[in-house]
Structure 1
C-alpha cells in the first residue's frame, strides 16, 4: 500500500478496511473448506482464517484490515483476493484501494464477437469501423473497412497494417508524420502489461519485416492513444482521409471499437458514398 498522506489517503484506507471486512463477512469456513471451530459472535471468516488462506501473518493482515499505512505487494494482494474469493472487478477494486494499479484480467483468449457488436459495426457503414483487441489484432470489420483498407477478418493487426499495407504507405507525407505517434501509442498500451507475450509477439514479428518500425520502436517514445487522422490511397477512389476515434465497451474493457469519419472538406465523404453505397 502506498503511504498517501493527508485526508485523501486516510479515506482510501478507511474504504479498504470496510471493503475487506464486508468481503470476509460474506464467507463461512465451509465456503473455503475450513472446519468450524466454536461459536462465532459474528458471521463470516475470522481474520486469522483469512491470513492462513492467504499465507500471510495474522498481525500483518490485521494491520491491513485496520487501514494502517503498510507496504503491500501485488503478490500478497492476489493471495488475499484468492482467500476472499473476490471477483475480477473486486480484485481490481482491492488493488486501487491499496494504491496499486490493477493488473489486466487474466484468462484464455476469447475472440468471439457478440452479434450486437457486429451489428454496431455494420450499422456504421458506409463509414469504416472495426473491433480490435489489446494487441491491436483485428477481430471484426464492416464491409466499408474491408473496401477502404483492403483487409478482412483474418488474423490481422492494425500496427502491422500501418507499416506494411500499401494503401497507408500510398500517402507518404502523412504516413511519415504519423508513424512516430502510432508506435508511441502502441508502446503506451504495451506498458500496461510489461512482459505480456502478446505485445512482444507483435513487436518481434513486425520488427523482422519493417526496419522503419524497428527504428521507431528503439526510440522508446511513449504517447497517449487518442483521436487521430488516418489517410489511405484507394486504387479506385484516390486519397481518403478519416478522423479516427476509439471507444471501449463498458462490459469488455479489453476490446476497442474503432470508428472512422470522413474528414470534412477533403471530399472523402462523397467518394466513400460512391465506393461503398449505403444499405438500402
Structure 2
C-alpha cells in the first residue's frame, strides 16, 4: 500500500482493534459449533476461539486484534475473515485496516443483468451502449450498438470481435493504427490479475485465432485505455463519430458501462437517426 504517516497508521490500527473486537462479539459459540459451559463474561467469541477457528496461533491473533506491527498475509486474513463470518465488504475492510490491498471479488462470468441495467442500456438507444466485464466480455448491448458496430449474437468479447469480426473490423478505417493501443490496454487490465484463468483463456484462444493479435501481444506493450473518441465508417450512412464515456457499476465490481454519445458538429446524430429509422422500416 502507499506509505502513510505514523499518525495515520496508528488510526488505522485503532480501527482494526475496534473492528475485530466488534465482529468477534456478535458471534455466539453455538453459531460456529463450539460447545461451552459455565458463565462467560466475554460477549460472543473469545480471542482463543477465533484463533482456533481460523487455524492461527492465539498470540498472533491477539497481536492482530491489538493492532501491533506484525506481518500479515492474505491467506491468514482470509482465514480470520472466515472465522468471523465477514461479508464481502467487511472482508475488504479488514484487508485495508491490516494494510493490505483487498483481493478483487470474482464476478461470475455468466452473471445475469438486472432489469435496472437492462433498462439503462435500452434507454440510451439509439446511441450505442455496452455493458462489459473486466475481461471485456459483452454482458449486454442495446439496439444502437448492434446497428452501429455490427455486433450480433455470435459476439461475446470486445477484444475477440475487434480481431475476428470482419464487419466490425471493416468499420474502422484506421484499424491497423488502433489495434496496438487496444492490445496494450488489454494487457494493462490483465496485469491486475496475474494468472487469472479467464484472461489466459481469452488471450490463448485469440492468439490461435488471429496472427495479428499474437504478434501484437508478443510486443508486451502496456497502456491505459485513453481512446475517448470512437470513429467508424458505416456502409449505410457514412462516418459516425462518438465520444466514449466508461463508468464503473458500483454494485458489480469489474463491470463497466460504455456510453457512446454523437460528437456535436459531426452530423453523427443525424446519420444515426437515419440508420435507426432505416433499420426499423426494414424490419416492419
TM-score, with length taken from structure 2: 0.90
Aligned residue runs from structure 1 range 13-162, under 5 A: 13-106=13-106, 108-162=108-162
State the superposition RMSD in angstroms.
2.3
Superposed CA offset, 1:94-128 (max 9, x none): 11112222112246543311122111111101100
SS of match in other structure, 1:130: strand
Shift of 1:167: 4.4
Alpha-carbon distance in structure 1 between the residues aligned to 2:23 and 2:219: 45
Number of residue pairs matched by the alignment: 279
Which position in structure 2 is the counterpart of 1:185?
Answer: 185
Aligned residue runs from structure 1 range 190-269, under 5 A: 190-225=190-225, 228-269=228-269
Alpha-carbon distance in structure 1 between the residues aligned to 2:107 and 2:156: 21
Alpha-carbon distance in structure 1 between the residues aligned to 2:174 and 2:9: 46
Structure 1 window deviating more from structure 2 (218-227 vs 10-19): it is 218-227
Alpha-carbon distance in structure 2 between the residues aligned to 1:151 and 1:208: 22
Q: Are 1:141 and 1:152, in contact at CA under 8 Å, matched by a contact in 2?
A: no
**Where does structure 1 lack aligned partners over 5 or more consecutive residues?**
none
- Quickly say closer, same or farther: Cα 1:109–1:177, change in 2 above 3 A: closer
Which position in structure 2 is the counterpart of 1:164?
Answer: 164
Superposed CA offset, 1:47-72 (max 9, x none): 11000100111101111111111111
- Quickly say closer, same or farther: Cα 1:25–1:225, change in 2 above 3 A: farther
Alpha-carbon distance in structure 2 between the residues aligned to 1:110 and 1:172: 29
SS of match in other structure, 1:186: helix
Q: Are 1:140 and 1:153, in contact at CA under 8 Å, matched by a contact in 2?
A: no
Superposed CA offset, 1:171-212 (max 9, x none): 666333332332222222222222111111111111112222
Q: Where do 4+ consecutive residues of structure 1 move more than 6 Å? A: none
Superposed CA offset, 1:75-97 (max 9, x none): 10110010000111111111111
SS of match in other structure, 1:8: helix
Alpha-carbon distance in structure 1 between the residues aligned to 2:108 and 2:131: 18
Shift of 1:134: 2.0
TM-score, with length taken from structure 1: 0.91
Q: Are 2:107 and 2:254, in contact at CA under 8 Å, matched by a contact in 1?
A: no
Q: Are 2:151 and 2:168, in contact at CA under 8 Å, matched by a contact in 1?
A: no
SS of match in other structure, 1:100: coil
SS of match in other structure, 1:132: strand
Q: Are 1:103 and 1:193, in contact at CA under 8 Å, matched by a contact in 2?
A: no
- Quickly say closer, same or farther: Cα 1:275–1:191, change in 2 above 3 A: same
- Quickly say closer, same or farther: Cα 1:277–1:94, change in 2 above 3 A: farther
Alpha-carbon distance in structure 2 between the residues aligned to 1:265 and 1:210: 37
- Quickly say closer, same or farther: Cα 1:118–1:21, change in 2 above 3 A: same
